[in-house]
């Protein structure tokens, strides 16, 4: 989904603390294609360049891009394996998964014939691996044995399944339907759709509250977050939280109570109190903020500035951008092992 957004440059400040089916030529400055193993030092930040078919590796101390790792076509989202040994990059147009070492950035292997994996998720019980085929309108449920996903069921969903969430008990898969304004719930035991309910316009990312009672859904076609009660037989819309235009991606703040929401059109990020359903803070986020991660101490937001080709670092105490790192085209997923509690 495209949205208009203005980019901005951060003011100079001290540094913040601390095989493939397609390739693209690396952009300068790039030291090497695949970095050597690291035995010490900080864990890298990974930024998926969806239109370059590669990953930018960013050093969180120098705030420099140190490498580009080739992937398949259109890497959009990434997720850590249950054993925490591999970071899985889903290449939507490449029909592949690229597995990299989350501590060094080394490519470990490529899994092929995973059809249109736009979004991905492992179940909390570590038995299931699920992908959303954004272009092809289905959700695939794989059995996960720690090595290779084994397709068990392809579930037709209707138009544009977007983002996924699985409940803590590993009983239900939730998926937003971006172009049909709906939320779908899939029963994992029967691998069938058990509920489909309407949402606001263009639902995107979603996040389940720590107590398992609510789902928060970003409405990219609107200006806020829709809240669903998921304690009953089917999800029930109970609240709307106004954030700003283009509410899209989400990331837990790490304190068990607050949630960050990127407003991709408004160029801001909102912080939501999940208990009160209120916005408690807003932050500037230039260049079409999309996916986010949070530093281990909870202070810094790592944000893909989608239209500016940058990784932006936001100090949530000072409420300002303190670093920007040039990366590739259309940066999307952002992740680091040194993150706050999910």
Would you state the pLDDT for residue 88?
99
Would you state the pLDDT for residue 147?
86
User: Taking the model in full, what pTM does it have?
Assistant: 0.88
Would you state the pLDDT for residue 342?
87
Query: Which of 338, 261, 321 lies closest to 45 in space, CA to CA?
Result: 338
Would you state the pLDDT for residue 40?
54
Domain 201-284, architecture per CATH: Beta Barrel (2.40)
Q: How many CA atoms lie within 13 A of 21 on its CB side?
A: 19
10-residue mean pLDDT profile of the chain (342 residues): values are: 33 33 33 39 94 98 97 98 96 98 97 98 97 98 94 98 98 98 98 99 98 98 98 98 99 98 99 98 98 98 98 98 99 98 89
Give the whole-angstrom CA distance, residue 130 versus residue 315.
Answer: 33
Q: Measured between alpha carbons, how far is residue 228 from residues 81, 107, 220 in Å?
A: 28, 39, 16
Nearest-10 Cα torsion for 98, 307, 282, 334: 10
Would you state the pLDDT for residue 10?
31
Question: DSSP states of 288-316 as a string?
Answer: -EEEEEEBTTS-EEEEEETTTTEEEEEET
Inter-residue contact 282 to 272 (CB < 8 Å): no
């Amino acid at each position: 989904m495209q949205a208009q957004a203005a980019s901005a440059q951060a003011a100079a400040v001290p540094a913040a603390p601390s095989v493939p089916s397609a390739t693209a030529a690396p952009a300068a400055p790039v030291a090497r294609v695949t970095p050597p193993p690291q035995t010490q030092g900080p864990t890298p930040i990974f930024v998926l360049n969806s239109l370059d078919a590669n990953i930018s590796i960013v050093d969180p101390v120098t705030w420099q891009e140190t490498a580009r790792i080739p992937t398949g076509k259109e890497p959009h989202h990434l997720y850590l394996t249950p054993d925490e040994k591999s970071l899985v990059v889903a290449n939507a147009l490449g029909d592949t998964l690229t597995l990299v070492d989350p501590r060094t950035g080394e490519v470990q292997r490529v899994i092929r014939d995973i059809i249109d994996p736009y979004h991905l998720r492992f179940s909390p019980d570590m038995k299931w691996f699920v992908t959303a085929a954004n272009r092809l309108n289905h959700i695939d449920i794989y059995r996960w044995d720690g090595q290779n996903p084994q397709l068990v069921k392809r579930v037709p969903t209707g138009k544009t399944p977007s983002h996924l969430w699985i409940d803590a008990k590993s009983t239900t898969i939730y998926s937003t339907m971006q172009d049909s304004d709906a939320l779908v719930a899939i029963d994992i035991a029967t691998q069938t759709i058990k509920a489909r309910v309407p949402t606001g316009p263009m639902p995107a990312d979603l996040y389940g509250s720590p107590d398992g009672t609510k789902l928060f859904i970003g409405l990219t076609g609107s200006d806020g977050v829709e809240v669903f009660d998921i304690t009953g037989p089917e999800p029930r819309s109970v609240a709307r939280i106004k954030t700003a235009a283009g509410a899209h991606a989400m990331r837990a703040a790490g304190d068990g109570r607050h949630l960050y929401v990127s407003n991709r059109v408004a160029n801001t990020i909102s912080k939501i109190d999940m208990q009160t359903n209120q916005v408690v803070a807003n932050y500037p986020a230039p260049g079409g903020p999309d996916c986010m991660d949070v530093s281990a101490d909870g202070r810094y937001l790592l944000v893909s500035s989608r239209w500016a080709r940058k990784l932006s670092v936001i100090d949530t105490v000072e409420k300002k951008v303190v670093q920007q790192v040039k990366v590739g085209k259309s940066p999307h997923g952002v992740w680091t092992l040194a993150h706050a509690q999910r």
